[in-house]
Structure 1
Amino acid sequence: MNDPQTHSSRQDIENTVWEVRERYVNLSPIGSGAYGTVCSAMDRRTGNKVAIKKLYRPFQSEIFAKRAYRELKLLKHMKHENVIGLIDVFTPALTLDGFHDFYLVMPFMDADLNKVMGRLSEDRIQYLLYQILRGIKYIHSTGIIHRMLPDRHFYCPQVSLLRVSANNKISINLLQDLKPGNLAINKDCGLKIIDFGLARHTDSEMTGYVVTRWYRAPEIILNWRHYAQSVDIWSVGCIFAEMITGKILFKGKDYLDQLAQIMKITGTPSSDFIQKLDSMEARNYIRTLPYIKKKDFTSLFSNASPLAVDLLEKMLVLDADKRLSAAEALSHPYFEPFRDLEEETKPEPFDDSLDQLKLSVDLWKRHAFQEVMNFAPFSSLHKRPMETAL
């Protein structure tokens, strides 16, 4: 049970009053966006550095209140060492009437995967990729991840900012925007997925958001009839290739160029693939393309081991129905040094019964207060870090 906050310190950060538990000291702002500010801090109880997020006016409207509740609920539910989750959540309020703010405490991460691209040995690539897939397998099995609208002006590799879209629509339970910037790492080679719910409303809103496009599965660009969890495996394959070579694999200038870059390596799609496209324009466009033979991955990734090439080839399959799942990828011989079935956590069922309801601000606030009050910290046995750090 999360006891009400009785001992706290107050300070002004980014023109906002922060009132945090005395166990958290040395607060320093590290990022801010449309929905909140994030500070690093030292946890005196554990001696560890943490990231603390305070939402801006979480109960100013029904949309903000639902967003705040959902972020809290999702982060509380995530209990896996390769997915961002909560260390603590607290409020200075003693009663519901005084409940106006709450603070999310998460692990502090040193950097994101972008910082080490091209400087990784094969054993580190194996270990990082293994952790990515473990996290993805866990997230996929929850079935709770929804499409959300990003704050394109926010960047902070230390925390996950989960947001419900403005119209509160619920969509498919996929990552869809997995990229190196969404993978946080520590010096001990530990990795966490920190943004597992980003997506966009329309293509027009994605103008200029180039990084996402480079890792996006071709079936999303081409508006396939159905998406599966394998869209994320494509993204992982792109990240895997970049870890090997230090270069972005498919660096398209726009959507058509993105498809062209993909097909230069995967080859021209088969007729079976084309039939799976919803858009007649997309079908006709693909049919007009000249025939391209699939590249030899062994030559393309000559510095990689045969097992790495084999796994990569099975991830970067144009037809999503023939792509590996996260569980199948984890079973690949490439991960034999790290595989431990007992450590692959299975999530508890997620209660999303409130998702479809239209509630008042006061009711969302009441539910959020209850979630804060009944928070119980998650403790798990972490894997022994690699002998050599990043």
Structure 2
Amino acid sequence: MEPIPNDAKYVRYNISGNIFEVPAKYKPPIMTLGSGGYGLVCSAVNSESNETVAIKKIMHACENPIQAKRTLREIKLLRHLEHENIVGIKDIIVPPQRDFFEDVYIAFEMMDSDLYKVITSYEKLTKDHYQYFLYQILRGLKYIHSANVLHRDLKPSNLLVSVKCELKICDFGLARAASETYAMTEYVTTRWYRAPELLLNSSTYTTAIDMWSVGCIFLELMTGRPLFPGRDHVHQFCLILEVINILCPKKDNHEILGL
């Protein structure tokens, strides 16, 4: 795709109707890797290091306090967390106008896919694959927890993988310090991987919530199906109760479960 002229230091690319503005050192091919509510992720080549990176564009990063805190939290944590099983930041791109900007661009090390795509591709995996992926998840998570941090949003799409089966944990926008004592009631963890204490609106929780997510991910990796694909909070809790042979109440579920 052809660059849109800007100035000598920055180049703009139109990617599916989205303007992607990066320093001129990042050269084509600029390819879309993914998108979501946060914005857009594209690959590019750093001409100075000849290294392919994944650039995450966080749209309207400072539009509201919650989004701004999430962006700042991810940058601060990943600048300090350096581990083989945690995705690394390669560059925090300074905006052309530092006094006024809406979007934030962060360059991460490049990975080939994520565990969600691996699971849904129906590629035949062996016991060695299962063990190696789980080992790397636990290894990275042990490091995160040793830094007194809870990830709080572990799910297959937040586990990046390479063609060599290397795995790295990403997306620390919802991570928090485990020592924070105030009530932690904001959104955490995609529902299918959410621990029971979160479903019951517990105001405090521990590293156990991340371990619960790992267990759900591991079973999904082996079976190809989510372990607890709840339609809502109540259905999610009932699915968990069924696994441990406890009948879910049929009457006034929301009132009984306090949801």
For normalisation by structure 2, the TM-score amounts to: 0.72
2:70–2:174 CA contact under 8 A, matched in 1:
no
What pairs up with 1:196-215 in 2 under 5 angstroms? 196-198=172-174, 212-215=190-193
Partner SS, residue 87 of structure 1 = strand
Q: Mark the CA change 1:261 to 1:77 in structure 2 (over 3 Å): closer, same or farther.
A: same
The answer on 1:49 being equivalent to 2:59 is no
Counterpart of 2:109?
107
Q: Runs of 5+ in structure 2 lacking a partner?
A: 1-6, 176-183, 248-253
The answer on 1:38 being equivalent to 2:41 is yes
Q: Mark the CA change 1:17 to 1:178 in structure 2 (over 3 Å): closer, same or farther.
A: closer
Partner SS, residue 26 of structure 1 = strand
1:217–1:235 CA contact under 8 A, matched in 2:
yes
The answer on 1:282 being equivalent to 2:257 is yes
Question: CA offsets, 1:5-60, max 9 Å, x none?
Answer: x9734123345361314254322333445554322112334444211123445566
How far 1:202 sits from its partner (Å)? 6.3
Counterpart of 1:166?
none
What pairs up with 1:143-154 in 2 under 5 angstroms? 143-144=148-149
Q: Mark the CA change 1:265 to 1:87 in structure 2 (over 3 Å): closer, same or farther.
A: same
Q: Mark the CA change 1:253 to 1:100 in structure 2 (over 3 Å): closer, same or farther.
A: closer
Counterpart of 2:151?
175
Tell me the distance in 1 between the aligned counterparts of 2:237 and 2:60: 42
Counterpart of 1:130?
135
Q: 1:218 aligns with which of 170, 189, 196?
A: 196
RMSD over aligned Cα atoms = 3.7
Q: Mark the CA change 1:64 to 1:244 in structure 2 (over 3 Å): closer, same or farther.
A: closer
User: Highest relative contact order (Cα 8 Å, sep 6+), 1 or 2?
Assistant: 1
Q: Mark the CA change 1:96 to 1:133 in structure 2 (over 3 Å): closer, same or farther.
A: same
Question: Computing the radius of gyration over CA atoms, which structure comes out larger, 1 or 2?
Answer: 1
The answer on 1:188 being equivalent to 2:164 is yes
For residue 87 of structure 2, what is the amino acid of its counterpart?
A: I
Counterpart of 1:353?
none
For normalisation by structure 1, the TM-score amounts to: 0.50
How far 1:250 sits from its partner (Å)? 2.1
What pairs up with 1:1-390 in 2 under 5 angstroms? 8-13=9-14, 14-16=17-19, 18-33=21-36, 35-56=38-59, 58=61, 68-91=71-94, 103-117=105-119, 119-144=124-149, 174-198=150-174, 212-224=190-202, 226-268=204-246, 281-282=256-257
For residue 75 of structure 1, what is the amino acid of its counterpart?
A: L
For these two proteins, the number of residue pairs brought into alignment is 234
Q: Runs of 5+ in structure 1 lacking a partner?
A: 1-5, 145-173, 270-278, 286-390
Question: CA offsets, 1:231-265, max 9 Å, x none?
Answer: 11111111111222222222333333322322232
For residue 126 of structure 1, what is the amino acid of its counterpart?
A: Q
Counterpart of 1:325?
none
Tell me the distance in 2 between the aligned counterparts of 1:68 and 1:175: 14
For residue 22 of structure 2, what is the amino acid of its counterpart?
A: E
Identity score, percent: 43
Partner SS, residue 177 of structure 1 = coil
Q: Mark the CA change 1:143 to 1:244 in structure 2 (over 3 Å): closer, same or farther.
A: same
Partner SS, residue 235 of structure 1 = helix
1:221–1:255 CA contact under 8 A, matched in 2:
yes
Question: CA offsets, 1:302-330, max 9 Å, x none?
Answer: xxxxxxxxxxxxxxxxxxxxxxxxxxxxx
**More helix by proportion, 1 or 2?**
1
For residue 184 of structure 1, what is the amino acid of its counterpart?
A: L
